[in-house]
C-alpha cells in the first residue's frame, strides 16, 4: 500500500510495501488515489513522493510479471503522467535505491533529491525487458542519449552522485541527513516556480543529432558484451526513437518493444534467474538441516592452507569479508610469495578505488602469515586449498584434526574429490565440508558448498553463512565425484572431443557455443585454464594415452569410448594460453587463432582410424555439447545431489559463464521442452550404447516426460517427491 500524510502545505505520499517497496497493483492503486487527493486539496502546495522502510521503490513487482495483474490499471506509466501533469511541484525523495519503475516514477516528478548513499538505475535489461514506463524516452532527455544508452543497455546501478553530475538528481543529501525533511523544504522552495521545462516530456534530447553514430557504437559494444541477448538490442532501438520521434510516438515504440520482450523466452529465463539467485540462499540438506532452522557458528578467523592461485584468491575473499586471515604455507619461500601477492592485490584494489584506504589498512593488518599448522590451532574455520590429490589432502586433514581446537570447521576447496573420504581422516567428520571456489576465487561469484554424509547442521549453516559474508552466490550440494559443476562439465568435454574426431575442428565447435551466448567456447576455455589440468585428472584415473599398455586400442578404455586428442596435445606441450599454444595458437595476445598444426594432429588421427569427417550442423553440435550436461543434471537431481534445478542453473551461470538469458542448462531444457530433449538423448543412446553412458537417459527425465510431458520447472521436484512417496 501507500500512505498519505501532510506536513502543513506539503503532501507526502509514501510507498509502504516491504521489503523493497515494489510497485504492486495495490500500491499503484493507492498512488493514483493519493495524487488525486493532493491535487484536489487547495491547502496542498507541493507533493513529496518517497518510500517507507529500506528504500524508495525498486521497480515494478517482478512477481506480477507474466501474470494478468501486471497489466491491471493504473499502470506505472499512468502514475508517471499524473506526477508530471500535477500543477503542484512534485519531488521524489530517494533513499536506498530508485530502480526500474521506481526511477521512472522519479522521472515523472518535477524534481529529484537523493541521499548521497543511494543508487539509481534502470536495470530492466537484466530481466530481459526494457524500462516500460517512459524510462527509455525520459532518461535520454535528462542525461543525454549516450549516457542513457549505457545506463539502459547494461542496467547497472549508479551512485546518486553520478546521477547528480549528469543532471538527473537535483540535490544530494549528505549521509546521516533527513531525506524526507529535506524534500519537504525543497518542495516548498519550488512553489510558484514554472514547471514547464521540469516536465520531461516537453524537453528535447540534448545529443539527438548524434543518434546514428551513438547507435552504431553501442550496438557494437552490446554485441560483444551481451552476446546473443535480445533485450539490450531492443533497448537501444527504442531509446533511438527518443531522438527521432515525438514523446508520444516514442512511448508507442517503447510499448511495442516491451511487448516483444515480454513475449520472449529470454525475459522468462532472466526473471527465473533473478528469483533463482535469491532462492539458492534458502538451502536445504534433506534429512540434515535447512536454512530456516540451522544456526551458523560465529566465524572470526579463517585459515587458508596452501597459497597457490586458489588459496590466494580465497584469502583475499576472506579478508574482504572482514575476517582475521591466517595464510599457511610450510615452505617459507612459497609463503612469502603468496603474502606478497595478497598484499599487492589489496594495494591495487585501493588504487582502483575498489576499497577505501581504511578498508585496505584493515585488510593488510588482518593477514597473519603462518608456516606451521600449530599456528592455526585456534582459528574458527580452515579452508584447505592444496594440490588436488586425495592422499595429500587426507594427510593434511589428519594433522589439522590433531592441532585445531575441537570447534574448528575443516573445509576443503577440492573441485572433485570425495568429501566423506577426506572427512574419514579426522575424528570430527561432522565438522568437515567442501567449499569449492572457482578461479580466480576473489573474482568469481560462485561458491559451491558441499555437505558430507556426516556434516552437522551447524557446519553446513556456517559455510553457507561465510559464502554470504563473502558476497558469493553460494549453492549447497551433496557429495559425489565432481559435485554438480564439474561432474556435469566432464561430459561436456568428453563429447566435445568426440565431435572433433568425427566432424569438426575446435574453432567450429567454439563458434556454435559463442553464437549460443557463451563468452568463450569449450576449447578456448580449455586453453585458458590449462589443458594440463584435465590431463592430470585423467592421469589420476589412469586413462591417458601414455599410461596404456602396448596394444590397448587408442579409442577405448575398457568398454568405454575414449578420444585421446586432448592427451596428444598436452604430450606435445600444447598446454594452452600460458605457453602460447593449445587447441589454438596465440601470437602475443589472448586472441585464439586456429592452428594448422592442430588440424594436422586431428587429420592424422582420423586417417589412422579411417574416420572420414562428415558435415555436422550447428544444431547437432549444440545438442551434443549441451544435452549430456542436461541429462547429467537430471541424474544429479534424481540422486538428491542438488535439491532443485535452479541450484544447478545458478552453478552454471556463475561458475561456468552459462548465458543468463537462457537461464541455465535445466531451464534451457524446459524451454526446449523435455520431450524433445529426451528424444534426442534417446537417439544418441540408441546409436552409442553402453560405450557412451552419458547418453543413457536419466530415469527422472524419462519419468517426467512419460507422465507429465513438459511440466513447469518449479514442479519437477514436487512431482518426483510425490511419485517417490507413493512407490
Ligand atoms: C511497465 C513498467 C515496467 C517496469 C519494469 C521494472 O520496474 S522491472 C524491476 C526493476 N527493478 C529491479 O530489477 C530491481 C530488483 N531488485 C534488486 O535488484 C534487489 O532486490 C535490490 C533492490 C538491489 C536489493 O538487493 P538486496 O540484496 O538488498 O535484497 P534482495 O535482492 O534479497 O531482495 C529482498 C527481497 O525483495 C524481493 N524483491 C526485490 N526486488 C523486487 C521487485 N522488484 N519485485 C518483487 N520482489 C522484489 C526479492 O525477491 C527478495 O525476496 P525474498 O523473498 O526475500 O527472496
Omega into 19 within 30° of 0, i.e. cis? yes
Percent above pLDDT 90 for the chain: 93
Q: Domains in the chain, ordered, with CATH?
A: 2-262 (3.90.226.10), 294-480 (3.40.50.720), 505-608 (1.10.1040.10), 618-726 (1.10.1040.10)
- Catalytic, 124? Answer yes
225-255, pLDDT tens digit by residue? 777 789 999 999 999 999 999 999 999 999 9
DSSP string for 599-611: HHHHHHHHHHTT-
* CB-ligand 1 contact for 19 (6 Å cutoff): yes
The closest alpha carbon to 458, from 434, 430, 497, belongs to 430
- Catalytic, 495? Answer no
275-327, pLDDT tens digit by residue? 999 999 999 998 899 999 999 999 999 999 999 999 999 999 999 999 999 99
Q: Can you tell me the ipTM of this complex? A: 0.98
The answer to whether 100 and 125 are in contact (CB under 8 A) is no
* CB-ligand 1 contact for 271 (6 Å cutoff): no
Residue from 58, 99, 121, 135 whose mutation best tests the ligand 1 pocket (most atoms within 8 A of CB): 58
Ligand 1 centroid to 314 CA: how many Å?
A: 29
Candidate list 84, 104, 388, 507, residue with the active-site label? 104
The answer to whether 155 and 123 are in contact (CB under 8 A) is yes
Lookup: cell for 41:
486539496
Separation CA 446–CA 466 (nearest Å): 13
* CB-ligand 1 contact for 155 (6 Å cutoff): no
Q: How confident is the model at residue 71 (pLDDT cuts 50, 70, 90)?
A: confident
* Atom nearest to 258 CA in ligand 1: 1
Give me the pLDDT at residue 652, please.
98
Above 90 in pLDDT, residue 331?
A: yes
| Residue found under cell 569410448 | 561
Q: What is the mean pLDDT of residues 505-533?
A: 95
Separation CA 55–CA 95 (nearest Å): 5
Give me the pLDDT at residue 224, please.
77
Lowest mean pLDDT among 13-22, 103-112, 375-384, 548-557: 548-557
Q: What is the mean pLDDT of residues 65-92?
A: 92
Give me the pLDDT at residue 468, please.
97
Q: What is the mean pLDDT of residues 365-379?
A: 97
Ligand 1 centroid to 80 CA: how many Å?
A: 20
Q: What is the mean pLDDT of residues 254-269?
A: 94
Above 80 in pLDDT, residue 477?
A: yes
Q: What is the mean pLDDT of residues 218-227?
A: 85
Q: Which residue(s) pair with 474 in the sheet?
A: 447
* Strand extents, DSSP E, 427-515: 432-437, 446-451, 473-477
DSSP summary character for residue 429: G
C-alpha dihedral sign at 397, 399, 403, 406: positive
* Atom nearest to 96 CA in ligand 1: 22
Ligand 1 centroid to 59 CA: how many Å?
A: 7
Q: How confident is the model at residue 463 (pLDDT cuts 50, 70, 90)?
A: very high
Q: How confident is the model at residue 469 (pLDDT cuts 50, 70, 90)?
A: very high
Average of per-residue pLDDT values in the chain: 96
The answer to whether 128 and 269 are in contact (CB under 8 A) is yes
| Residue found under cell 531444457 | 669
Separation CA 278–CA 289 (nearest Å): 19
Give me the pLDDT at residue 668, please.
98
Q: How confident is the model at residue 521 (pLDDT cuts 50, 70, 90)?
A: very high
CB atoms near residue 192 (< 10 Å) = 8
Residue from 59, 94, 260 whose mutation best tests the ligand 1 pocket (most atoms within 8 A of CB): 59
Give me the pLDDT at residue 371, please.
95
Above 80 in pLDDT, residue 701?
A: yes
Q: Which residue(s) pair with 98 in the sheet?
A: 120
Candidate list 84, 124, 388, 501, residue with the active-site label? 124
Omega into 74 within 30° of 0, i.e. cis? yes
The answer to whether 666 and 272 are in contact (CB under 8 A) is no
For the chain, the straight-line distance linking the first and the last C-alpha, in angstroms and rounded, comes to: 47
The answer to whether 110 and 198 are in contact (CB under 8 A) is yes
* Atom nearest to 127 CA in ligand 1: 13
* CB-ligand 1 contact for 76 (6 Å cutoff): yes
Ligand 1 centroid to 151 CA: how many Å?
A: 18
Above 80 in pLDDT, residue 715?
A: yes
Above 90 in pLDDT, residue 726?
A: no
Separation CA 637–CA 627 (nearest Å): 15
* CB-ligand 1 contact for 124 (6 Å cutoff): yes
DSSP summary character for residue 205: P
Q: Which residue(s) pair with 410 in the sheet?
A: 382, 432
Separation CA 435–CA 458 (nearest Å): 15
* Atom nearest to 126 CA in ligand 1: 13
Give me the pLDDT at residue 73, please.
86
Separation CA 78–CA 91 (nearest Å): 17
Give me the pLDDT at residue 227, please.
78
Q: Rounded to two decimals, what is the model's pTM?
A: 0.93
Length of the chain: 727
Q: How confident is the model at residue 109 (pLDDT cuts 50, 70, 90)?
A: very high
Separation CA 126–CA 277 (nearest Å): 13
The answer to whether 118 and 96 are in contact (CB under 8 A) is yes
Give me the pLDDT at residue 667, please.
98
The answer to whether 335 and 327 are in contact (CB under 8 A) is yes
Lookup: cell for 460:
553446513
Q: How confident is the model at residue 223 (pLDDT cuts 50, 70, 90)?
A: confident
Q: Which residue(s) pair with 382 in the sheet?
A: 303, 410
19-32, pLDDT tens digit by residue? 999 999 999 999 99
The answer to whether 236 and 230 are in contact (CB under 8 A) is no
CB atoms near residue 539 (< 10 Å) = 15
* CB-ligand 1 contact for 278 (6 Å cutoff): yes
Give me the pLDDT at residue 198, please.
96
- For residue 327, give the 3-state DSSP assignment: strand
The answer to whether 639 and 207 are in contact (CB under 8 A) is no
Whole-Å CA distances, 382 to 33, 406, 488? 57, 12, 28
Above 90 in pLDDT, residue 536?
A: no
CA 359 remoteness from chain centre: 25
Give me the pLDDT at residue 541, please.
86
b (16+ CB within 10 A) / e for 403-417: ebeeebbbbbbbbbb
Ligand 1 centroid to 563 CA: how many Å?
A: 47
Amino acid at each position: 500500500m501507500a500512505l498519505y500524510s501532510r506536513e502543513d502545505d506539503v503532501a507526502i505520499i509514501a510507498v509502504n510495501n516491504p521489503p523493497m517497496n515494489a510497485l504492486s497493483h495495490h500500491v499503484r492503486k493507492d498512488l493514483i488515489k493519493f495524487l488525486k487527493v493532493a491535487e484536489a486539496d487547495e491547502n496542498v502546495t507541493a507533493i513529496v513522493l518517497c518510500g517507507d522502510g529500506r528504500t524508495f521503490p525498486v521497480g515494478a513487482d517482478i512477481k506480477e510479471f507474466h501474470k494478468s495483474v501486471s497489466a491491471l490499471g493504473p499502470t506505472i506509466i499512468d502514475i508517471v503522467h499524473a506526477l508530471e501533469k500535477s500543477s503542484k511541484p512534485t519531488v521524489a525523495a530517494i533513499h536506498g535505491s530508485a530502480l526500474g519503475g521506481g526511477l521512472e516514477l522519479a522521472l515523472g516528478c518535477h524534481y529529484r533529491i537523493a541521499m548521497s548513499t543511494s543508487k539509481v538505475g534502470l536495470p530492466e535489461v537484466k530481466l530481459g525487458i526494457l524500462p516500460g514506463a517512459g524510462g527509455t524516452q525520459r532518461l535520454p532527455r535528462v542525461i543525454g542519449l549516450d549516457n542513457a544508452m549505457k545506463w539502459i543497455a547494461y542496467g547497472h546501478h549508479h551512485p546518486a552522485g553520478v546521477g547528480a553530475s549528469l543532471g538527473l538528481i537535483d540535490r544530494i543529501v549528505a549521509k546521516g541527513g533527513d531525506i524526507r525533511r529535506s524534500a519537504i523544504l525543497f518542495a516548498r522552495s519550488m512553489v510558484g516556480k514554472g514547471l514547464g521545462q521540469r516536465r520531461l516530456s516537453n524537453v528535447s534530447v540534448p545529443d539527438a543529432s548524434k543518434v546514428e553514430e551513438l547507435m552504431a557504437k553501442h550496438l557494437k559494444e552490446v554485441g560483444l558484451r551481451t552476446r546473443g541477448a535480445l533485450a539490450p538490442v531492443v533497448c537501444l532501438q527504442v531509446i533511438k526513437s527518443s531522438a527521432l520521434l515525438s514523446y508520444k510516438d516514442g512511448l508507442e515504440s517503447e510499448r511495442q518493444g516491451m511487448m516483444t520482450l515480454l513475449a520472449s523466452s529470454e525475459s522468462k529465463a532472466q526473471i527465473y534467474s533473478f528469483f533463482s539467485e535469491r532462492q539458492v540462499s534458502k538451502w536445504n540438506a534433506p534429512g540434515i538441516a535447512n536454512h530456516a532452522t540451522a544456526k551458523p557458528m560465529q566465524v572470526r578467523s579463517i585459515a587458508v592452507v596452501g597459497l597457490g592461485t586458489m588459496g590466494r584468491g580465497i584469502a583475499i575473499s576472506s579478508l574482504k569479508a572482514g575476517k582475521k586471515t591466517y595464510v599457511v604455507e610450510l615452505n617459507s619461500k612459497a609463503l612469502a610469495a603468496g603474502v606478497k601477492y595478497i598484499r599487492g592485490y589489496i594495494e591495487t584494489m585501493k588504487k582502483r578505488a575498489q576499497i577505501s584506504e581504511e578498508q585496505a589498512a584493515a585488510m593488510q593488518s588482518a593477514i597473519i602469515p603462518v608456516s606451521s599448522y600449530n599456528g592455526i590451532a585456534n582459528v574458527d574455520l580452515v579452508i584447505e586449498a592444496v594440490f588436488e590429490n586425495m592422499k595429500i589432502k587426507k594427510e593434511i586433514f589428519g594433522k589439522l584434526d590433531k592441532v585445531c581446537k575441537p570447534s574448528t570447521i575443516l573445509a576443503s576447496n577440492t573441485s572433485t574429490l570425495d568429501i566423506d573420504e577426506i572427512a574419514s581422516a579426522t575424528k570430527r567428520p561432522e565438522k568437515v565440508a567442501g567449499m569449492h571456489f572457482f578461479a580466480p576465487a576473489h573474482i568469481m561469484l560462485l561458491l559451491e558448498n558441499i555437505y558430507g554424509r556426516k556434516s552437522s547442521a551447524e557446519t553446513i549453516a556456517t559455510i553457507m553463512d561465510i559464502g554470504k559474508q563473502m558476497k558469493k552466490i553460494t549453492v549447497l550440494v551433496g557429495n559425489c565425484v565432481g559435485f554438480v559443476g564439474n561432474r556435469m562439465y566432464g561430459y561436456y568435454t568428453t563429447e566435445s572431443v568426440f565431435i572433433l574426431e568425427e566432424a569438426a575442428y575446435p574453432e567450429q565447435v567454439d563458434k556454435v557455443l559463442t553464437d549460443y551466448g557463451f563468452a568463450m567456447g569449450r576449447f578456448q576455455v580449455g586453453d585458458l585454464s590449462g589443458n594440463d589440468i584435465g590431463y592430470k585428472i585423467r592421469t589420476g584415473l589412469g586413462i591417458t594415452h601414455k599410461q596404456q599398455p602396448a596394444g590397448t586400442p587408442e579409442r577405448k578404455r575398457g568398454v568405454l569410448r575414449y578420444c585421446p586428442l586432448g592427451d596428444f596435445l598436452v604430450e606435445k606441450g600444447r598446454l594452452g594460453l600460458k605457453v602460447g599454444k593449445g587447441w589454438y595458437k596465440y601470437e602475443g595476445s589472448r586472441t585464439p587463432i586456429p592452428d594448422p598444426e592442430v588440424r594436422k594432429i586431428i587429420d592424422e588421427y582420423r586417417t589412422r582410424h579411417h574416420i572420414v569427417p562428415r558435415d555436422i550442423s550447428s544444431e547437432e553440435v549444440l545438442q551434443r555439447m549441451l544435452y549430456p550436461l542436461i541429462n547429467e543434471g537430471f541424474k544429479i537431481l534424481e540422486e538428491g545431489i542438488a535439491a532443485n534445478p535452479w541450484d544447478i542453473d545458478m552453478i552454471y551461470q556463475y561458475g561456468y559463464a552459462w548465458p543468463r538469458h537462457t537461464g541455465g542448462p535445466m531451464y534451457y531444457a524446459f524451454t526446449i521442452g523435455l520431450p524433445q530433449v529426451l528424444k534426442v538423448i534417446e537417439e544418441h543412446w540408441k546409436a552409442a550404447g553402453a560405450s557412451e553412458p552419458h547418453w543413457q537417459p536419466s530415469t527422472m527425465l524419462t519419468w517426467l516426460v512419460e507422465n507429465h510431458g513438459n511440466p513447469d520447472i518449479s514442479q519437477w521436484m514436487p512431482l518426483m517427491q510425490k511419485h517417490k512417496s507413493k512407490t
